[in-house]
Amino acid sequence: MLKTSLTHPEILRVLARAGHHAKVLIADGNYPVSTKRGPNAEVVSLNLAPGVVTVAQVLRAVLGVVPVDHVNTMGIPPDDPYAQSGEPPVWNEFRTVISESGARLTLEPVLKWDFYKHVESADHVLTIQTGDQALWANVLLTVGCRVS
């Protein structure tokens, strides 16, 4: 029995094989997983029902297993109607999860269309599809190096 909080066998398999600079997408329930992914990416569907599971829950589990160099959110284009509402509330939840993990990382937005390009790269190894209903709740992690 594993002692880590992440026990999903497929996610652990892909993360164990991911190297430095590999990209892991934790996607919300609205993300177009079937069309926006890299050529080497595997998909694990955890979208059991609307709201189950959330991106923050998956983020917490993944940060407990692999080193991460960067955490990017999908940034809101200035012409999007939501841009006038300010930052999505879920981003503060992500910051809390990052802080609680002990990681010294900053949440960095990447504008939507550039975010898709990052995801569609050959470095993208895993998408974890959630049932999160929060708007703009996609998170792209860049795997770091293991330090003794």
- Compute the C-alpha angle 53/113/103, nearest 5°: 50
11 in a structural domain: no
Q: Considering the domain boundaries, does residue 5 fall inside one?
A: no
Domain limits at 113?
19-143
Per-residue pLDDT of the chain (148 residues; tens, 9 = 90+): 678 889 999 999 999 999 999 999 999 999 999 999 999 999 999 999 999 999 999 999 999 999 999 999 999 999 998 888 889 999 999 999 999 999 999 999 999 999 999 999 999 999 999 999 999 999 999 999 988 6
Is the residue at 12 inside a domain?
Answer: no
Within a domain: 48: yes
Residue 113 covered by a domain: yes
Residue 127: enclosing H or E segment and its boundaries?
Answer: strand 124-129
pLDDT of residue 3: 81
Query: What is the distance between the alpha carbons of residues 124 and 7, in angstroms, rounded to a whole number?
Result: 21
Question: Which tokens hold the place of 137?
Answer: 């709740």
Count how many domains the chain has.
1
Question: What is the 8-class DSSP label of residue 66?
Answer: S
In a domain, 35, yes or no: yes
**CATH number for 105:** 3.40.1650.10
pTM given for the model: 0.96
Residue 55 in domain: yes
